[in-house]
Amino acid sequence: MFEVWTKTAGIIVIIAIGYLLKKTKFLPADSAKLLSKLSLNVMLPFVYISNLNGRTISRDLINALLWGLGIDAVLTAAAFLLARKKPKETVFIMQYCVPGFNSTGYALPVLQMFASEYEVASLVLFNIPISFFFFIVTPLLVDVLGAGEEKFSLKAVGHNMIRNVAAMAALLMLLLCLLHIALPDELITAFRPLANANSAVALLTMGLLFEFPRRLPKENLKALAVRLVITLSAALLVWFDMIPFGAIKNAMIIVLFAPIPNASPSLALYHGYEGDKVAFGVSLNMIISVIAVSFLCTVLF
């Protein structure tokens, strides 16, 4: 138990260091952006490669993929209903503050410190449909609800997905697993140091992006409440084995409390949003997520 508490404290300390580095202006203003690119485009692909290489796509891992698809579909549908016939700003808040999980930027590096490679692999599979919803379904619904200023373009979406190195690495490794092709062990051993470094870099980036909300708009509170009700209900279904996950049960509970994707404000801005309530919602949700995930790691591992 002491080791678990030590690791949990380490998570909070790294995030706090990132926050202090930002507030003291010790690092340049664009440090979070640079570290985020380093984590997502360099280190995270090696996490996927290391944890999926040579792995049989078991029923558990398929269930993890379907779990991500099902949960984000429910959250997205709830956001759509909350945003129907509402002002433009409400559409953006609901669509970018209810669905989505920062499973690769926060939940995965945390689980790397506690869980087995098999559980980390389940998180990689969980994230594949999450990326699909975030980059394709949500922007499309924003346009359907009449809030998007940038027209939805399948070509642009495809281009963005191809440029997403981590997503492409996950899909490639999934294909290799289905074909029962494994990369040489020597290559994986060479990749592992970069994969192991992802936790510290990703958590430091979280700290650099962290911001205490200055106020709590009603729409943000409603979005957060709906998200928590759905994710907590889902977690209870898994906890009481009403949805059996076997060896990946703990990972499938913890990932439900991962924060909203950090890119949500940027994607909202790209589609014409000019306010700051989406960023407030992401920051407020991040506070709850850090507390919830740290507590769950203490209880479940």
pLDDT digits (tens, 9 = 90+) for 151-197: 556 666 666 667 677 778 878 888 888 888 988 988 888 888 888 88
Question: How far is Cα 97 from Cα 220, in angstroms, rounded to an integer?
Answer: 7
Question: How far is Cα 45 from Cα 85, in angstroms, rounded to an integer?
Answer: 40
pLDDT of residue 257: 93
Residue in the structure block whose two tokens are 């997503």? 167
pLDDT of residue 71: 96
Q: In whole numbers, what is the pLDDT of the chain averaged over residues?
A: 82
Determine contact, residues 217/277, Cβ cutoff 8 Å. Answer: yes
Determine contact, residues 256/127, Cβ cutoff 8 Å. Answer: no
Determine contact, residues 135/160, Cβ cutoff 8 Å. Answer: yes
Residue type at 262?
Answer: N
Q: What percent of the chain has pLDDT over 90?
A: 21
Tell me the pLDDT tens digit for each residue of 255-296.
999 988 877 776 777 677 776 778 778 778 888 888 888 788
Tell me the pLDDT tens digit for each residue of 38-65.
877 888 788 878 877 888 888 898 999 9
Helix (H), strand (E) at residue 109: helix 108-114
pLDDT of residue 99: 95
Q: Helix and strand tally (H, E) in the chain?
A: 15, 0
Mean pLDDT of 238-252: 92
Nearest residue to 27 via CA among 205, 244, 285: 205
pLDDT of residue 1: 47
- Read off the pLDDT band of 6 (50, 70, 90): low
Q: What percent of the chain has pLDDT over 70?
A: 87
Question: How far is Cα 119 from Cα 115, in angstroms, rounded to an integer?
Answer: 6
